[in-house]
């Protein structure tokens, strides 16, 4: 199972919006409603930000939004804040009944 494809890095200024893409295949992202996104600050454990493509767990800011089109999922962060600077990973449940992660995207808030 190959890793999902994410951009290595994205950046934005405070207050701006950014979007991170996550591209897979019809065997994972394209064929699944079970796409999730995780935020990881340096030295910390990952945190669930989005599940089931676009749902936010309780406590996650509504500045985080996600969607999917075909084989690509998207995470958008509105109104960037300094605390959003972190690594972001997408994940999908696959047709092989296992999970696959993206390679991760480093978000820099300028």
DSSP 26-56: TTTGGG-S-EEEEEE-TTS--EEEEBTTTBP
Establish if 13 lies at the interface with another protein (CB under 8 A).
Answer: no
Rounded distance, CA 73 to CA 60, Å? 19
Among 48, 54, 63, 85, binds another protein (CB under 8 A): 48
Contact call for residue 41 and another protein (CB under 8 A): no
* Nearest-angstrom CA–CA distance, 55 and 50: 5
Report the alpha-carbon distance of residue 47 to residue 22 in Å, rounded: 17
Q: How far is the CB of 21 from another protein (least distance, A)?
A: 15
Question: Where in 83-102 is the site for another protein (CB under 8 A)?
Answer: 87, 89, 91, 93, 97-102
Q: Which residues lie near another protein (CB under 8 A)?
A: 1, 3, 34, 36, 38, 40, 44-48, 51-52, 55, 57, 87, 89, 91, 93, 97-104
């Amino acid at each position: 199972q190959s890793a999902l494809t994410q951009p290595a890095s994205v950046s934005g200024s405070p207050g701006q919006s950014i979007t991170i893409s996550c591209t897979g295949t019809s065997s994972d992202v394209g064929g699944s409603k079970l796409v999730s996104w995780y935020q990881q600050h340096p030295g910390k454990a990952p945190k669930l930000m989005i599940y089931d493509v676009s749902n936010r767990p309780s406590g996650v800011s509504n500045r985080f939004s996600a969607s999917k089109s075909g084989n690509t999922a998207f995470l958008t962060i509105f109104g960037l804040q300094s605390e959003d600077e972190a690594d972001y990973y997408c994940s999908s449940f696959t047709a092989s009944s296992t999970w696959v992660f993206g390679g991760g995207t480093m978000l820099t808030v300028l």
